[in-house]
Structure 1
Amino acid sequence: MQTYLVGGAVRDRLLGLPPGDRDFVVVGETPEAMHARGFKTVGRDFPVFLHPKTGEEYALARTERKSGRGHRGFVVDAHPDVTLEQDLERRDFTINAIAQAEDGTLVDPFGGERDLKARVLRHVGAAFSEDPLRVLRAARFMARFGSLGFTVAPETMALMRGMVESGELAELVPERVWQELVRALASATPSAFLQTLRSCGALGVVLPEVDALYGVPQRAEYHPEVDTGVHIELVCDMAAMIAPGDDVVGFAALVHDLGKALTPADVLPRHVGHEHAGVAPLRALCERLKVPRQHADLGRIACREHLNVHRLFELRDRTVHELLVRCDAFRQPERLAQLALVCEADKRGRAGLQDSAYPQREELLRLLAAAQSVRAADVAREGLEGPALGEALAQARIRAIRAARATPVPDDEDA
């Protein structure tokens, strides 16, 4: 059986990155032959099998022919006559079209190793334009590899612009758009995802609420970068740095300022009330992309509350308690911790302020811990129930917050 290691496993090894899942392509075989060797079928749209011992995926070499619009409109041919080169030719980028034989020899008909060394993301062939999802994949790969110095080849960018202008991106199903977005947000430089999509005109198609932020000015004394779109890029990258791999925090960082696109022109560069104005476009984005509830909830809370967290040291004790209640922090303390990370990313995601301190994060969690120390059983007394018990609990928690604020936080040297 002729088997070759393909795709990301080969690419990442050549880049010196930690190995991930391994995928194999099998040449010259049939599904029946694979079953006879104990492989189990898992692919619905094309023949993919699981190895009987390792559980790794083995796919028959195949070609794909465009048969309709969208990323699903393809006819697959996995005949035993399909060669390895034909299978590699259908792939998206040259850096993903490298195969490795069992003896370690590389099969690289499209110059993928050359492009890895040059740090270039280049499409394999004209068939690239047949799948609109590849525009998002290009942007997502830039989010992952942009920090390594990768750029998109000019001819690939031109092809992507043509794909956007053709209108085919409208055929993408929300789940696939979300899948690419969430993987980009968990990458090292999400800003490269936004920049790549914007460069080819796709950002306005898939994330119009975010695209609308570019060119919207902010007050330079608070935002030296001025442009709100640039601010969002900085915030997303900061979120990726302080909460690596946390796509929930990343999503909230992306959407926390959507309301600034709705600020009337005669008010700019001030954005009074943007935190409340952003809830409606956020809701539209979440409904369109079928965003999971966990992401949508943190996005909404970050949009609505980030200014309150920034002003934490100015808030009254009761107002702090009300903030905790609105965030459902007593039942979901981990969400408050994520909100604090988003707010830190917002503060430090500004030109020249990336090293700024953000004591509000630790203070918010400290005050929550103080309030959590008060239990309903601690304040219950005979005959007290319902709203009266709730108010007594709230008052006790407010007193705990007040006491915590009156207690100095010990320095590291004293701790």
Structure 2
Amino acid sequence: MQVYLVGGAVRDALLGREIKERDYVVVGATPEELLKQGYQQVGKDFPVFLHPKTKEEYALARTERKQGEGYTGFICDFAPDVTLEEDLIRRDLTVNAIAQAKDGTLFDPFNGQNDIKNRILRHVSDAFSEDPLRILRVARFAARYHYLGFTIAPETNRLLMSMVANGELETLTAERIWLECEKSLSDGAFAEFLNVLFAIKGLHVISPFLEKQWDSALYRTLQARFNYAQQRGITNTALLFSQVTLSFSEEAIKTLAQKIRLPNEVRDLALNAQAHRQTLCASQLDSNAVLSCFNQLDLWRRPERFEQVLEALEISEQKPLNFANELEQAAKQARAVNPQQFIAQGIKGADIKTALEKARLEIIQRYFS
């Protein structure tokens, strides 16, 4: 049994980047052998195991045969006689098809080290086209390593465009598309990810509306917003994704949310930031409009919604809002109004709500006209 470090850990070590996780491939072993050593199998039919102590992933060397459609239609063969090179050739990019033995020796049958040196993302084999998920993965890697000067090899770019033209992206599940978006958001390179997809005519997989809207100005705007968020240490997925949808209509956001199954918190912040941007970013704030904003966001029971909208709009403006402090103070004081004080005055029924609204508006008017 031979164990090799593979994939991202080897690639990032060669690039001098921080290694976030380590994956291993095991050659010449059976599931029974690993189970006897205390490894825990992940899934029923997939040859991946967790190390008994480190919980890192160890996968049996395997080959894959395409049988069905999409990225799940593969049959795996993980017999003990599968070689390391046979395992590596099924991988997506040459930079991800390098293995490292325990003594540090590198096995690089597809010249991944040379492509790392030349900053090229190149597919390993023609089998690349069998897995449509790789379109998004390559876009994500191109975005992540863009700052290092990486580009997609011309032949790989042509293959990606051919796969998109053949409708391969349409076979991906909404959940898988969102997961790739989420990973790119975490990388801090989402504007570049979207730009790569646009370049290969695949941005419609996220949003046809965004694809029609996309141009160099929007790309630069999003880059600037994400850079601001990164400088501020903001990593919240909902806050970051909301920057893409600020120019969308409510209907377009809802369509996008359904198309790629946005988590509820991401969808809701996108809708709230879009709905209240004009009110909260105005050069002069109207007290009635501010109260309406507070009510619609349910500031009284869900103050975190208002706080998130303010933060999302700050990222979009790349600076604190002109009246951020006043808005925060007005919100704090308006929330402190207690309906019990009106009940104690003998006010009843619907009149309590009227009194509450009046008191809250008077507080807001101290700050805004």
Residue correspondence of structure 1 range 169-208 to structure 2 within 5 A: 169-208=169-208
Distance 2:11 2:62 in 1: 20
Residue correspondence of structure 1 range 67-106 to structure 2 within 5 A: 67-106=67-106
Distance 1:385 1:87 in 2: 74
Deviates more, 1:102-111 or 1:62-71: 102-111
Distance 2:75 2:83 in 1: 17
Which residue pairs with 1:329 in the alignment? Answer: 299
Do 2:326 and 2:367's aligned partners in 1 also have CA atoms closer than 8 Å?
no
- Residue 244 of structure 2 aligns with an amino acid whose one-letter code is L
Which residue pairs with 2:239 in the alignment? Answer: 249
Which residue pairs with 2:258 in the alignment? Answer: 287
Distance 1:169 1:334 in 2: 36
Which residue pairs with 1:222 in the alignment? Answer: none
Distance change >3 Å, CA 99–CA 361, structure 1 → 2: farther
Deviates more, 1:203-212 or 1:395-404: 395-404
Shift in Å at residue 163 of structure 1? 0.4
Shift in Å at residue 19 of structure 1? 2.1
- Residue 390 of structure 1 aligns with an amino acid whose one-letter code is K
Deviation digits for residues 342-375 of structure 1 (CA, Å, limit 9, x no counterpart):
2223334xxxxxxx66434444334322323333
Which residue pairs with 2:273 in the alignment? Answer: 302
Aligned-residue CA RMSD (Å) = 2.3
Distance change >3 Å, CA 288–CA 231, structure 1 → 2: same
Distance 2:144 2:354 in 1: 49
Which residue pairs with 1:391 in the alignment? Answer: 354
The 3-state SS of whatever aligns with 1:314 is coil
Do 1:147 and 1:189's aligned partners in 2 also have CA atoms closer than 8 Å?
no
The 3-state SS of whatever aligns with 1:359 is coil
Deviation digits for residues 113-141 of structure 1 (CA, Å, limit 9, x no counterpart):
22223222221121111111111111122
Do 1:69 and 1:168's aligned partners in 2 also have CA atoms closer than 8 Å?
no
The 3-state SS of whatever aligns with 2:187 is coil
TM-score by length of 2: 0.92
Distance change >3 Å, CA 334–CA 119, structure 1 → 2: farther
Distance 2:118 2:338 in 1: 61
Distance change >3 Å, CA 310–CA 243, structure 1 → 2: farther
The 3-state SS of whatever aligns with 1:64 is strand
Shift in Å at residue 240 of structure 1? 4.8
Residue correspondence of structure 1 range 314-325 to structure 2 within 5 A: 314-325=284-295
Gaps of 5+ in 1: 216-224, 259-277, 349-355, 407-415
Distance 1:211 1:360 in 2: 34
Say how many residue pairs are matched. Answer: 369
Deviates more, 1:388-397 or 1:55-64: 388-397
Deviation digits for residues 88-107 of structure 1 (CA, Å, limit 9, x no counterpart):
11111122112121112222
- Residue 251 of structure 1 aligns with an amino acid whose one-letter code is F
Q: Percent identity?
A: 41
TM-score by length of 1: 0.82
Gaps of 5+ in 2: none
The 3-state SS of whatever aligns with 2:38 is coil
- Residue 89 of structure 1 aligns with an amino acid whose one-letter code is I
